[in-house]
Amino acid sequence: MRWLGMAFLGLVGVAHAGPRTPCDTCEACTAALATPGAEVELKGPLTATAAGACVTIAGDGATFNAIGHPIQAADTAIAITGADVLLRQPDVTQAKVGVRITGARATVFGARISASDVGVAVDGAADARLDRVTVTGGQVGVAFGALAGQACAPDASLRSAGAVVQRATITGAQLGLAACEARPVVLDSEVSGNQTGLLLGDPKAAGTGPGQAGPHDACACAPTLDQVQPGTTLLFSSGCGGCQVHEGFLPDVRGRGHDVRLRETGPENKAKMDAYDAFVRRCAPGIIDAIGTPGCVPNYACLANGDLFKRKGPDGRLVFESRLNDADGVSEFAAKCASAAAAHYGAGAACVQHQIRGLKACGNAKAGVVLAGGAVTGADNACGGDVPGLGCTEACGATAAAPSPTAPAAPAPRPAAPASAASKAQPEVTRPGPTTATSGAAPASLAAEGKGTKAVAVNPDDTERKSPTWVMLAGLGILAAGAAWFLRKGKKG
């Protein structure tokens, strides 16, 4: 029975520091999130009518798991003032400002935001990281020191060094992404259907240190976890039966020369597990996002290209971004990770070789990308025109109509769930995806989601009917253990 209980814990996984504190009001959430290292889970919709932020995350190292319930605010929905904060899957349906970040090293993962002024405002915060953020409507989608219709000041200072925006979708805004006080690394993002797509300024260094000399990705360029480089594939394991299946692939995968960093498990490795969890919480939160969902463990992530094996969708079900069911699939995932690192990352202060890559800036009424000065480097972008240095090698093709120039700066109507790539009017830039896995990795009825052919979303009707092979193996193990226990019990009787 003890083994049975341990197997069950391995299946659901445990990757947060402690029990989650529930909250269902702005005041209760703010109070809980004032504690350093707090784990807080939203349990009901939030509405704020007064000025100021509905929820403030002030505790250093706090985590706010906001999936599942909408947040509305007359002013700011969520303010992040503490350092090393993780905000997971907030659904801001109405606000003046969706998320405002002033605390260093904040990570926002899987956010869906509709705001009238600014979706995400990063205001003097170093190493802000926006991962899989969807912003709809407003004056500015993501702002690093600019408002719609304004040019970047020629003497603007670099107030938000080390910013990273990856797998973002920004649409329906007057200005999609404004970077006057930052030099953000923008990876595999779509900024389409706005008046102006991107405004890139030339901020002056405000001091010395990482990110002052140019674009900087602290997670890839200065990882705090040992044995990790930009091209390292991260493997999350909790020691469950399915994890043992994937750990069994490792000798083969590593034998082919691939760099895979495993999360070691067991009581004797607690310090190593804690270090691993702290790193991925900051730099690859998607790798632990789906823990607690049936079929969620194990998971893989790549720092160099932002790839994941799977994550939790807005409806709480699994979304498979890659198909990894055998050593061949894992090897291809790791090879793509290493290739992205070799192409886009170097060493030292110039670690980031291409500031903007995999960008789609199409269907914007006035311009896709506006350079307000300075130099920019890019690769594999679709920009709707020739932007010097940006590497706009992909054609936009036919695109959806941009919002009317006279349209008010109000939030666009919010869909019930983020649209998949297949349902968008703009054609996607197709990039090579992983090879099709053998049966068991994901249902055959997977539909395309995300960028190009990289992501596949599980049909909600099939998510749990057709779970991965390792889950079935773990289930058989549990049944066998239970049967053995009952046989022993019968013999004793």
Q: Let me know if residue 341 belongs to a domain.
A: yes
Q: Is the pLDDT of residue 250 over 90?
A: yes
Question: Quick count: other Cβ atoms within 10 Å of Cβ 433?
Answer: 20
Q: Are residues 47 and 105 in the same domain?
A: yes
Q: How many domains does the chain have?
A: 2
Percent of the chain residues past pLDDT 70, beyond the cut: 76
Q: pLDDT value at position 358?
A: 94
Q: Let me know if residue 89 belongs to a domain.
A: yes
Q: Are residues 45 and 180 in the same domain?
A: yes
Distance CA 345, CA 191 (A): 23
Q: Is the pLDDT of residue 182 over 90?
A: yes
Q: Which domain holds residue 133?
A: 2-221+360-408
Q: Let me know if residue 417 belongs to a domain.
A: no
Distance CA 438, CA 425 (A): 32
Q: Is the pLDDT of residue 413 over 80?
A: no
pLDDT in tens, 275-291: 999 999 999 999 998 88
Calculate mean pLDDT across residues 399-422: 39
Q: Are residues 212 and 271 in the same domain?
A: no
Q: Let me know if residue 163 belongs to a domain.
A: yes
Q: pLDDT value at position 484?
A: 52
Q: Are residues 403 and 426 in the same domain?
A: no
pLDDT in tens, 358-400: 999 999 999 999 988 878 899 999 987 667 788 887 778 644 4
pLDDT in tens, 322-331: 989 999 999 9
Q: Are residues 135 and 256 in the same domain?
A: no
pLDDT in tens, 40-91: 999 999 999 999 999 999 999 999 999 989 999 999 999 999 999 999 999 9
Q: Are residues 374 and 247 in the same domain?
A: no
Percent of the chain residues past pLDDT 90, beyond the cut: 60
CB neighbour list of residue 156: distance below 8 Å, 6 or more residues apart:
145, 180, 181, 201, 202, 203, 204
Model confidence at 149, in pLDDT bands (50, 70, 90)? Answer: low
Q: pLDDT value at position 147?
A: 77
Q: pLDDT value at position 93?
A: 97
Model confidence at 470, in pLDDT bands (50, 70, 90)? Answer: very low
Q: Let me know if residue 92 belongs to a domain.
A: yes
Model confidence at 460, in pLDDT bands (50, 70, 90)? Answer: very low
Q: Let me know if residue 206 belongs to a domain.
A: yes
Q: Are residues 367 and 275 in the same domain?
A: no
Predicted TM-score (pTM) of the model is: 0.80
Q: Is the pLDDT of residue 475 over 90?
A: no
**More confident: 391 or 472:** 391
Model confidence at 210, in pLDDT bands (50, 70, 90)? Answer: confident
Q: pLDDT value at position 410?
A: 40
Calculate mean pLDDT across residues 117-130: 97
Q: Let me know if residue 490 belongs to a domain.
A: no
Q: Are residues 166 and 291 in the same domain?
A: no
Contact call for residues 150 and 174 (beta carbons, < 8 A): no
Q: pLDDT value at position 451?
A: 38
Q: Are residues 275 and 149 in the same domain?
A: no
Q: pLDDT value at position 148?
A: 65
Q: Are residues 264 and 371 in the same domain?
A: no
CB neighbour list of residue 400: distance below 8 Å, 6 or more residues apart:
192, 193, 363, 424, 425, 426
**More confident: 57 or 17:** 57
Q: Are residues 95 and 167 in the same domain?
A: yes
Model confidence at 243, in pLDDT bands (50, 70, 90)? Answer: confident
Q: Let me know if residue 314 belongs to a domain.
A: yes
Distance CA 462, CA 336 (A): 28
Tokens for 436?
């099709």
Q: Is the pLDDT of residue 435 over 80?
A: no
Q: Are residues 170 and 266 in the same domain?
A: no
